[in-house]
Amino acid sequence: MRVLGIDPGYGTTGFGALEAAGSQFRLLRYGAITTQPGPVFAARLEMIYQDMCQLLEVVQPEALAIEELFFGHNVTTGINVAQSRGVILLAARQAGVPIFEYKPMQVKQAVVGYGGASKHQVMDMTRRILHLEQVPRPDDAADAIAIALCHARSSTSLLAKAMGGLD
DSSP states of 1-60: -EEEEEE--SSEEEEEEEEEETTEEEEEEEEEEE----S-HHHHHHHHHHHHHHHHHHH-
Strand order in the sheet with 63-67: 24-34, 12-21, 2-7, 63-67, 99-102
Nearest to 18 by CA among 34, 36, 2, 41: 2
67 catalytically annotated: yes
Q: Which of 7, 57, 139, 143 is catalytic?
A: 7
51, 57, 60, 64: CA torsion to nearest 10 = 30
Contact by Cβ (8 Å): 5, 19: no
62, 67, 68, 101: which is the annotated catalytic residue?
A: 67
For residue 51, indicate whether it is catalytic: no
Question: Which residue of the set 133, 140, 143, 167 is catalytic?
Answer: 140
62 is catalytic: no
Q: What residues are labeled active site?
A: 7, 67, 140
